[in-house]
A and B are shown apart, each in its own frame.
Chain A
Amino acid sequence: MNRRTLVTTAFALVASLAFVLAAINASGSGGAASPRTKITLVAPAAPGGGWDAFAREGQQAMRINGIAGGVQVVNVPGASGTIGLGQVVGMGDRHDLLLVTGGVMLGGIILNDSAVSLDDTVPIARLADDFNVLVVPGDSPFETLEDFVAALQNDAGGTAIAGGSLGGIDHLLAGMLAAESGIDPQTVNYIAYPGGGEVVTSLLSSTAAAGLSGYNEFRDQIDSGNLRALAISAHEPVEGIDVPTFREQGVEVSMSNWRGYVAPPGITDEVYDELVAMVTELRATEEWTDTLERNNWVDSFMVGDEFADFIRDESDRTEAIVRGLGL
């Protein structure tokens, strides 16, 4: 009898102890009073994608420099980020949350007929620009952008362009390129792939005649000669990237894959100021400068109302292009 009660008591103690510890941990994982104690960066994409990388780079920089007590990244993938957007908007007055957003989400919002848009969030800051490159296979007959545009004008349907998901930057760029070259965007033979890696495959197997994706996806293949870069979608030539812009070559196409942070709609003014301060500090860190360099991102810091206006303008522009593409 004694041994049995001993074992049972010991078990009860262990179970209770574990439970209490777990409860302590659980209680800490909820919201925090101030974003400085603990901040959650919501990446509305699966691990490994562009937004996820952006969030984790930010997490790293914040952690090392102690900008916040604790930084965690949560992934809420789906539907070009609109699912993550919907979740964050529904979080009302959470003080400790930042959602990663970017140009790609604007297209996604329109395409997916999302009930919420970035207007329903509080814009905090834009941090970096990424640019997309138009490439062709290394052994392609197209040497310059002009060659490619000529082929497109000649036979748009037969010149397949590979790129990211529908409504994303690649798709919009393809549409813009067509429009600027006097081609009806709806005749463009655009083939959507889930990721940049697959666009590379498509080009290497000569499935598509040309491809669009972020510079980073193509960088190594360009350097090794497997792919040839025709143009980059930046407004001005980018330092460190040896690819001429569309505009330099006479085609008025430019669009940046910008990325930044927004916050849930219900935050107070103090929290807003705090978040802006934190992001400003983040941008000034050494780690962030390093990040920009490594990823070939361009610093494009913009806060507050200016950022809000920018989002609105970009949103209108995206909508126009999407309509033009017939989506």
Chain B
Amino acid sequence: MDQLASLLEGFAVAFTPANLMFLVIGAILGTAVGVLPGLGSAMAVALLLPVTFSLDPTGAFIMFASIYFGGLFGDSTSGILLNTPGNSSAIATTFEGHRMAKSGRAAKALGTSAIGAFIGGMIACTLVVFFSPYIVELARVFGPAEYFALAVFAFVAISAVVADSIVRGLVALGIGFALALVGIDGMSGAERFTMGSPILFDGISIIVITVGLLAIGEVIHVASHIRRTPAPRMALNPEGSPFPSRREWRQVLPAFLRGTAYGVPFGAIPVGGSEVPTFLAYGTEKRLARRRNDPDFGTRGAIQGVAAPEAAGNATAGTAMGALLALGLPTSATAAMMIAAFQQYGMQPGPLLFERSGDLVWPLMASFFLGLVILLIINLPFAAIWAKLLVIPRHYLYAGITVIAMLGVYAIASRPVDLWMALGIGVVGFAMRHYSIPLAPVLIAAILGPMAETQLRRALAVSEGDVGILVSSPLTIALYSVLTATVVLSVIQHSRHSRRRRSAVRELARERV
């Protein structure tokens, strides 16, 4: 309860007009920056760092925090509208979100994602404020063997995404792995697929892959049948309010909570990655949709497919912030940037932060809550306006997407090579669409693959080759057990289901005769 008192004090400090103004500015900037792929919140914080030097520390931090969260709201906006997620944590939201936009429900998708982000962030921040010492204990428990088990778990859990056609899914996974392998291997220094060119030493950025596959691939794809599908284009008058109706609330609230449940623990795990919980949430929703025979999922776009990943993504960000402040561990590039910013002001994130700089930290925590509220206020009503973006004539829309995609890729490191790679991957993306190869597994493989490999090799390096280390701790045993149980259960279910179907068909055939 001591924390509650400090938090309320923090609110008092944060609630001044000046600080509120910084909050709003940061929120708008963060959202705007989040929308552009390639220009992540890390870059935004870096670019704005000089500007904030003239402000007092509290004000500066409030602005950074709202930029951070704003980015998380914005990246799904561009994903939903333009099929170009602004950040890898928005990829999962983009799948169903863009489908909803194409079927005329863009406003609803945007509204749902805003609310999901809000709920996920709020719950995570609350947990952080009151339970940070426990959350931080997770860092001690997670070694490479545990991470590997987690990655395997995530792969299998997300396999629902791949299951539509095993062969095609595997092809997509293969492409994703291949793209992710390019570069110098961190553990051994060996060059892979770099073709001797130093430019490829750092591999292909995930943003290049995402933008190329989703945005440029889409542009080329639309170009290929532009002559066939005439004027009535994708946006049937985007009506619908962004606010969920009462019936939709009932559908969507459990999805929000499920997503948050995935997101909270991952933010606390150092370097857990913000994408994994979003993919897990998406996979779960897909499974549940199939179980209740939801016709919307995968076609028109189902709300739950937007709600859960968004909540997961923001919940992760919330706990990650907590881990940042409590442990001093950067769980993302933005967080690393924030640490640098903190140090400029003499604050050292870490175990002693609350003791040493409590009077700066509590207003910051209070501003997380305020920031989320303000972002919700900004994004919800604006959702309807953003949705109108899709009414723009197709030729302008895609021309705009192309230019923005190029800008986003260029913003990563100012290299023409990235642009070429994005174009090349875009062509691959077009071919994939042409042959109905799913796109999601490529991204999932590109993100999870390297993580799984690195952790596996680290675990084996520490154990000097002893494979037993992979199942040597209670956590790994637990994860693998749950995994095996899930697989066994679904195999049993599947065979029971197909046996029932086969006997039903036999019944019908008999009746016809």
The answer to whether A and B belong to the same complex is yes
- Minimal beta-carbon separation of A186 from chain B (angstroms): 13
Question: Nearest chain A CB to B201's CB is how many angstroms away?
Answer: 4
The count of chain B contact residues (Cβ–Cβ below 8 Å) is: 50
Q: Is the CB of B43 within 8 A of A191?
A: no
Q: Is the CB of B271 within 8 A of A47?
A: no
The minimal Cβ–Cβ distance linking B196 to chain A, given in whole angstroms, is 9
In the assembled complex, A66 has its CB within 8 A of some CB on chain B: no
Q: Is the CB of B462 within 8 A of A189?
A: yes
CA distance A206 to B462 in the complex (A): 10
A75-B46 in contact (CB<8A): yes
**Residue-wise interface mask of B (332-370) relative to A, using a CB-CB cutoff of 8 A (1 in contact, 0 not):** 010111011001101011111100000000000000000
Contact status A204-B328, CB under 8 Å: no
Bound-complex Cα distance A79 to B197 (A) = 12
A25 at the interface (CB under 8 A from B): no
The 8 A CB mask of A221-255 against B (1 = contact, 0 = none) is 10110100000000000000000000000000000
Question: Is A294 on the interface with B (CB-CB < 8 A)?
Answer: yes
Complex contacts, B270 vs chain A, CB 8 Å = 197-198, 201
Residue pair A157, B328 in contact (C-beta under 8 Å) = no
State in angstroms the CA–CA spacing of A197 and B339 once bound together. Answer: 11
Number of chain A residues whose Cβ lies closer than 8 Å to a Cβ of chain B: 57
Is A82 an interface position by the 8 A CB rule? yes
**Which of B184, B328, B337 is the one whose CB lies under 8 Å from A48?**
B337
Give Cα A114–Cα B198 distance, bound, in whole angstroms. 7
B232 at the interface (CB under 8 A from A): no
On whether the beta carbons of B186 and A166 are closer than 8 Å, the reply is yes
Q: Which residue of B lies closest to A198 (CB)?
A: B271
Residue-by-residue, is A104-135 near B (CB-CB < 8 Å gives 1, otherwise 0)?
00000001111100000000000000000000
Q: What's the nearest-Cβ distance from chain B to residue A212, in Å?
A: 16
Stretch at the interface among B57-65, B68-76, B92-100, B140-148: B140-148
- The one of B186, B328, B458, B462 in contact with A220, judged by C-beta atoms closer than 8 angstroms, is B328
Q: Are A83 and B462 in contact (CB under 8 A)?
A: no
Cβ-defined partner of B343 (8 Å) among A76, A189, A198, A294: A294
**A200 in the interface, Cβ–Cβ < 8 Å?**
yes
Question: A219-B348, A224-B352, A294-B346 are contacts. A205–B336 as well, Cβ < 8 Å?
Answer: no
By a CB distance below 8 angstroms, the chain B residues around A79 are 184, 198, 201-202
Query: With A and B bound together, what is the CA distance between A232 and B307 in angstroms?
Result: 50
In angstroms, Cα B210 to Cα A2, docked, is: 47
B504 within 8 A of A: no
In the complex, how many angstroms separate the beta carbon of B417 from the nearest chain A beta carbon? 10
Determine if B143 and A207 form an interchain contact, defined as CB atoms under 8 angstroms apart: yes
Instruction: Find residues 123-180 in chain A having any chain B CB closer than 8 Å to their own CB.
Output: 157-158, 160, 165-167
What distance in Å separates the Cβ of B499 from its nearest Cβ neighbour in chain A? 46
Residue B380 CB within 8 A of the other chain: no
Q: Mark B187-215, 1 if CB is under 8 A from A, else 0.
A: 11100000000110110000000000000
Check B50–A205 contact: CB distance below 8 A: no
**Structural contact, B140 and A166, CB atoms closer than 8 A:** no
> Among A157, A165, A205, A223, which residue has its beta carbon within 8 angstroms of that of B139?
A205
A192 touches B187 (CB 8 A): yes
Q: Judge whether B441 is part of the interface by a CB distance below 8 angstroms.
A: no
User: A316 to B333, alpha carbons, bound, how many Å?
Assistant: 33
Whether B53 contacts A160 by the Cβ 8 Å rule is: no
In the complex, whether A59 has a CB less than 8 A from a CB of chain B is yes
A182 on interface, CB distance cutoff 8 Å: no
Does A289 count as interface, using CB distance less than 8 angstroms?
Answer: no
CB atoms of A200 and B329 under 8 A apart: yes
Chain B residue contacts of A46, Cβ below 8 A = 42, 333, 336
> Are B141 and A47 neighbours in the complex by a CB distance under 8 Å?
no
Q: Which residues of A contact B (CB under 8 A)?
A: 46-49, 52-53, 56-57, 59-60, 63, 73-79, 82-83, 86, 111-115, 157-158, 160, 165-167, 189, 191-192, 194-195, 197-198, 200-202, 204-208, 216, 219-221, 223-224, 226, 294-295, 327
17 contacts between A and B (CB under 8 A): A46-B336, A47-B337, A48-B333, A48-B335, A56-B46, A60-B344, A79-B201, A83-B201, A113-B198, A160-B462, A191-B461, A195-B330, A201-B142, A207-B458, A207-B462, A219-B348, A224-B352
